[in-house]
Amino acid sequence: MRELERAEAIARSIRLPIQVGDSLSTEEIEFDRREVQILQIPCVKEITCHDVANSQITFYCDITDEWLNFLENEICVRIENETNNFNFLPTLKEVNHARFCPRVNEPGLYTLSVIINNEVHFEKELRVI
């Protein structure tokens, strides 16, 4: 119990929360659960991408996921409809962030998919005008 008291004192001084046991945020993280320690818990998972894009003009699609290392995983954006199918590799790839700069030449309604390791992780409708 002495170690927990020390951890509480340190946590108060630097304003960190204390967690005893597992939670939904930590159950899939690998760490030694017998040790008192400071954890950086991944929490950001977001995709910023347009709903409407202009044909023949590049637009941005940013993906941030603190749970994944994009340098160790394959990632692409697929934009497709009944007649067209385009795959885009990232223009910028960092540990937890990838940026795509796709351009679609033909107007129409498309499905934009984020594919990580050959598995669809996100889909949305994209209207190209």
Least confident of 22-36, 56-70, 79-93, 98-112: 22-36
Q: Could you give the CA distance from residue 88 to residue 74 in angstroms, rounded to a whole number?
A: 12
42, 64 contact by CB (below 8 A)? no
Residue by residue, DSSP assigns 43-60 as: --EEEEE-SEE-TTS---
pLDDT tens digits for range 43-92: 667 889 989 999 999 999 999 988 888 999 999 999 999 999 999 999 99
Tell me the average pLDDT of the chain.
86
| Model pLDDT, residue 46 | 84
Confidence of residue 1 (pLDDT cuts 50, 70, 90): low
Token pair of 9 as six digits = 């004192």
Query: If one looks up domain 45-128 in CATH, what number appears?
Result: 2.60.40.10
Q: Could you give the CA distance from residue 8 to residue 37 in angstroms, rounded to a whole number?
A: 11
Domain positions in the chain: 1-41, 45-128
pLDDT tens digits for range 5-16: 877 887 788 887
Measured in residues, the chain has a length of: 129
